[in-house]
């Protein structure tokens, strides 16, 4: 009897986690189109075909749901953009990070393009815990690019006098601009422009 109860409890927990993941997966997609502000227990219940109380069981409040959505988008970003290129080093990794970001946009991973680009623009002028969470993720991404660029300098793949902060600012600007223009105009030409510009920026800083 105790064993059956244990199995039942485990199953309920596994089901609960699966439901929570389904809600958050939906929330990440929805937020890229409707904004983090467009998320509500009601919209998510509708989109996931759960009852409102089914969604409430996982998130106490809209604020709680929004923060969990940012964390879920972070996990997706790491899985899709960052993790696949970690076996590369230095300049190869730096190039591959830009390319995997562009592929994440081009492949329509999320309907409204990069989650963090949309969230940064939405929350920019609104201080608070949600903006802090988004800003921290954005800094982490800059950190990942910076580490790869620094490694490229120490491996003599980029010049020793490279202004790494400016280089990373440029590369990030190019991939984000490609995301925004691609989503706004549905025009793949901007991805080609971004790729050309990225190569130009990198070539300008490679060791002679």
Q: Half-sphere exposure of residue 37, counting CA atoms within 13 Å on the CB side? A: 9
> 87: burial class by Cβ within 10 Å (0-12, 13-18, 19+)?
exposed
One residue of 111, 129, 143, 188 binding a second copy per CB under 8 A: 111
Smallest separation (angstroms) from a second copy to the CB of 12: 36
Size of the site for a second copy (CB under 8 A): 47
Cα–chain center distance at 204: 28
Measure the CA–CA gap between 177 and 182, rounded to whole angstroms.
Answer: 8
Q: What residues numbered 128-157 form the site for a second copy, per CB under 8 A?
A: 131, 134-135, 138-139
The three-state secondary structure class of 23 is helix
Exposure class string for 124-133: b at 16+ Cβ within 10 A, else e: eeeeeebbeb
Residue 208's contacts (CB-CB under 8 Å, 6 or more residues apart) are 159
Give the residue from 21, 47, 15, 45 showing the smallest Cα distance to 33. Answer: 47
Site for a second copy contains 122 (CB under 8 A) = yes
Site for a second copy contains 207 (CB under 8 A) = no
> One symbol per residue from 25 to 44: x for binding a second copy (CB under 8 A), - otherwise; what is it?
-------xxxx-xx------
Site for a second copy contains 90 (CB under 8 A) = no
Site for a second copy contains 120 (CB under 8 A) = yes
Site for a second copy contains 164 (CB under 8 A) = no
In the complex, the residues that contact a second copy under the rule CB under 8 A are 32-35, 37-38, 111-113, 117-118, 120-126, 131, 134-135, 138-139, 163, 165-166, 169-170, 172-174, 176-178, 180-181, 183-185, 190, 193-194, 196-197, 200-201, 204
């Amino acid at each position: 009897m105790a064993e059956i109860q244990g199995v039942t409890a485990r199953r309920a927990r596994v089901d609960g986690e699966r439901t929570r993941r389904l809600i958050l997966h939906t929330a990440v997609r929805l937020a890229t189109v409707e904004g983090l502000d467009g998320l509500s227990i009601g919209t998510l219940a509708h989109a996931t075909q759960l009852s409102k109380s089914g969604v409430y069981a996982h998130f106490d409040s809209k604020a709680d749901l929004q923060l969990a959505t940012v964390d879920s988008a972070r996990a997706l970003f790491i899985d899709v953009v960052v993790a696949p290129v970690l076996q590369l080093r230095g300049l190869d990794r730096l190039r591959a990070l830009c390319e995997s970001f562009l592929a994440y946009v081009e492949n329509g991973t999320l309907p409204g393009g990069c989650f963090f680009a949309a969230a940064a623009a939405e929350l920019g002028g609104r201080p608070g815990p949600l903006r802090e969470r988004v800003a921290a993720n954005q800094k982490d991404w800059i950190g990942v690019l910076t580490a790869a660029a620094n490694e490229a300098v120490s491996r003599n793949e980029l010049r020793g006098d490279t202004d790494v902060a400016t280089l990373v600012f440029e590369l990030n600007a190019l991939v984000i601009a490609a995301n925004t223009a691609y989503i706004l105009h549905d025009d793949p030409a901007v991805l080609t422009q971004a790729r050309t510009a990225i190569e130009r920026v990198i070539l300008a800083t490679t060791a002679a």
